[in-house]
Amino acid sequence: MGMWSIGVGAVGAAAVALLLANTDMFLSKPRKAALEYLEDIDLKTLEKEPRTFKAKELWEKNGAVIMAVRRPGCFLCRAEAADLMSLKPKLDELGVPLYAVVKEQVKREVEDFQPYFKGEIFLDEKKKFYGPERRKMMFMGLIRLGVWYNSFRAWNGGFSGNLEGEGFILGGVFVIGSGKQGILLEHREKEFGDRVNPLSVLE
């Protein structure tokens, strides 16, 4: 009887943990980025002789859509990049460029990401685009139903990936207006594979 009670208690505790893990109660809340914060970020080109410049150059004239990539080798990130690329013809019509930033350059990960994201990619070594407060999702992501749904959707779409590089710091997507218009859309990943709504980007 005692072992039975312990077993039932363990199952109950596991069920409660699973339930809590699938609410947003324990997710770190993002702090909104200010335009002044983003403008001052140092980015590097990925050429053999890299150039360092201030991020505001990306949107000063025509605005920009910028994806902060969690991990280029991740199949979920590749699926989101492909979603954004589907908007490129319309963005080109509007004269709005599409860029990505990565937080590290590991092996051929950036090159292997480019078939999914055909815009320019820059290096954000200080991970500022992932702030002002960096948020991480650790192994709780493995028991979130949303992550499993996102994974199934990406697998079903034919995306694959690898485990190279840092993948716990969550990314996001920004739509920034030209000049001092400011941040028009700020989408922060709340879990692995949490994609921005493409219609929201166009709006």
Q: What are the two backbone dihedrals, phi and then psi, of residue 102, each rounded to the nearest 5 degrees?
A: -120, 155
Beta bridge partners of 100: 67, 121
Buried b (16+ CB within 10 A) or exposed e, 34-66: eeebbbebebeeeeeeeeeeebbebbeeebbbb
Catalytic residue among 58, 77, 101, 110: 77
Catalytic residue among 43, 69, 74, 101: 74
Q: Are 97 and 62 in contact (CB under 8 A)?
A: yes
Inter-CA distances, 163 with 73, 144, 153, 197, Å: 7, 19, 19, 26
74 is catalytic: yes
Closest CA to 127 of 96, 97, 105: 105
Active-site residue set: 74, 77
